[in-house]
Amino acid sequence: MRCPYCQHDDSKVLDTSHDSHGGIRRRRECLKCGQRFSSYERPILATPLIIKQDGAREEFDREKLARGIRISCAKRPVSAADIERMIGQVETALQKMGKAEVSSRVVGDLVINGLKEMDQIAYIRYAIVYLGLDDLHALRNEIDRLLEG
């Protein structure tokens, strides 16, 4: 594993842990500069192509999904680990479907359900864009639905 600080090719593994999705986290130390860093390994399973609303198809992009979720969770008490866990859950759910193509609505539904459980303010922020809540009445109705449930 190449050191992200000095680019040296050799490091030693200090600690290894497994996550619930079959991934492996390794804590490493560079043998040249002594800096410590983490690496993540996860099995590569085929993720389906995402069919956008306009009919275009694109590869599932984990980073694009992460950006959208992070924006929704900005300045909220949601940890980076919680966000990563949710992204992993969405990716795993898509892989388990076993389909070659999936509508972007499926991805959006998985995200919005995860945010609803994680942080209601982040949920509302995401819902404004995803559900197209374009006026105060629609927003109020969604907030009222949250407060009832």
HEC string for 67-100:
HHHHHHCCCCCCCHHHHHHHHHHHHHHHHHHCCC
Q: How many CB atoms lie within 10 A of CB 65?
A: 20
Write down the pLDDT at residue 21.
Answer: 66
Which long-range contacts (C-beta less than 8 Å, at least 24 apart) are formed by 83-86? 86/111, 86/114, 86/115, 86/118
User: Confidence class of residue 22 from pLDDT cuts 50, 70 and 90?
Assistant: confident
Q: Specify the pLDDT at position 127.
A: 93
Residue 109 clears pLDDT 90, i.e. is over it: yes
Lowest mean pLDDT among 39-43, 77-81, 143-147: 39-43
Mean pLDDT of 85-103: 93
Supply the pTM of this predicted model: 0.67
> Domain map of the chain by residue range?
11-41, 49-148
Residue 27 pLDDT = 96
Q: Which of 59, 66, 51, 60 is nearest to 114 (CA)?
A: 66
